[in-house]
Structure 1
Amino acid sequence: MSATIMTGARRREPFPVDVPGLQISPAAPGLWRVTRPQGAVLGHIEQRGVGVESRFGARRLVAGGSRSIELGEFWSSRDAAEVFR
């Protein structure tokens, strides 16, 4: 995984798990960009809440790139990432 990226007082953390076949990189605090290894952007995963209330929302980019659709909200980061495979 990549190192933590600093942005002022807020940090962009690396995605909590590695998922084979996907590259997941920090886009903003609590937000990760999901891409294919060849570079095509598939969508984003957003952390919602903290601690035991933390969930992960997955959104897929619609062809053309400016809109996205909600794929669901998941209790684990791995489950949220698996919907892109």
Structure 2
Amino acid sequence: MITLSADTRPNSARPTPAHRHGPSLVSVRDGLWRVVDRSGAVLGHIEREGHGDTERYLARRLLASSRRIEMGAFWRIDDAADCFR
């Protein structure tokens, strides 16, 4: 399971520990996280999207430097981050 640390401010460039063998989340700005592997390579992004009183998290995987694949929309950030395992 991937969780965010308490420090998810937009200016925080500190990787968020996820799982010992899984990816980490790095805050890019409010509502956007970069997903990186243990070596620091960028795997993709997770973006928070609001819908009235609810939020969901959009996962996008990066392939080559210019291609993105929509992985899906999830109600929990942990579920969105699991796409990158």
Could you say which TM-score interval applies, normalised by the shorter chain? 0.7 to 0.9
Q: Which amino acid letter does the alignment assign opposite residue 75 of structure 1?
A: W
Q: For residues 4-59 of structure 1, what are the alpha-carbon distances to aligned partners after superposition, in whole Å with 9 as ceiling and x for unaligned?
A: 54xxxxxx287xx8531211011122100000011111000000006741000000
| Contact 2:59–2:71 (Cα < 8 Å) also in 1 | yes
User: TM-score, normalising length from structure 2?
Assistant: 0.75
Question: Within the alignment, does 1:75 sit opposite 2:81 as a pair?
Answer: no
1:67 maps to a residue whose letter is: R
Find runs of 4+ consecutive structure 1 residues off by over 6 angstroms. none
How far apart are the structure 1 equivalents of 2:52 and 2:26?
A: 21
Question: 1:61 Cα deviation (Å)?
Answer: 0.1
Residue identity (%): 45
Provide the residue aligned with 2:18 in structure 1. 19
The number of equivalent residue pairs is 76
What RMSD over aligned residues (CA atoms) do the two structures have, in Å?
A: 2.4
Q: Does the 8 Å CA contact 1:32/1:45 hold for their aligned counterparts? A: yes
Q: Which has the higher contact order (CA 8 A, sep 6+)?
A: 2
Unaligned runs of 5+ in 1: 6-11
Give the drift of 1:69: 0.9
- Secondary structure of 2:71's match? strand
Equivalent residue, structure 2, for 1:9: none
Q: 1:66 to 1:22 in 2, by over 3 A?
A: same
- TM-score of the superposition, structure 1-length normalised? 0.75
Q: What stretches of structure 2 of length at least 5 have no aligned partner?
A: none
